[in-house]
A and B are shown apart, each in its own frame.
Chain A
Amino acid sequence: KAGVTQTPRYLIKTRGQQVTLSCSPISGHRSVSWYQQTPGQGLQFLFEYFSETQRNKGNFPGRFSGRQFSNSRSEMNVSTLELGDSALYLCASSLGARHSYEQYFGPGTRLTVT
Chain B
Amino acid sequence: GNSVTQMEGPVTLSEEAFLTINCTYTATGYPSLFWYVQYPGEGLQLLLKATKADDKGSNKGFEATYRKETTSFHLEKGSVQVSDSAVYFCALSDKQGNKLVFGAGTILRVKS
Contacts and interface: CB of A to CB of B under 8 A. Distances in A.
A106 B38 CA distance: 11
Interface residues of B, number: 25
A11 B21 CA distance: 34
Interface residues of A, number: 26
Interface string B22-57: 000000000110101000001111100101000000
B100 A33 contact: yes
A83 interface: no
Contact of B97 (A43, A55, A102, A107): A55
Interface of A: 4, 31, 33, 35, 42-43, 45, 48, 50, 55-56, 58, 90, 92, 94, 97, 99-108
B98 A103 contact: yes
A55 B99 CA distance: 10
A108 B98 contact: no
Contact of A105 (B32, B43, B104, B105): B43
Interface residues of A, dominant DSSP: strand
A33 B42 CA distance: 17
Interface string B78-112: 00000000000100011111111111110000000
Nearest to A99: B93
A67 B109 CA distance: 39
Contacts of A97: 97-98
A95 B47 CA distance: 17
A102 B57 CA distance: 12
A56 B97 contact: yes
Most buried by B among A94, A99, A104: A99
Contact of A102 (B46, B96, B99): B46
A4 B42 CA distance: 12
A48 B43 contact: no
A99 B95 contact: yes
A50 to B, nearest CB: 8
Contacts of B93: 99-100, 103
B100 A35 contact: yes
Nearest to B42: A107
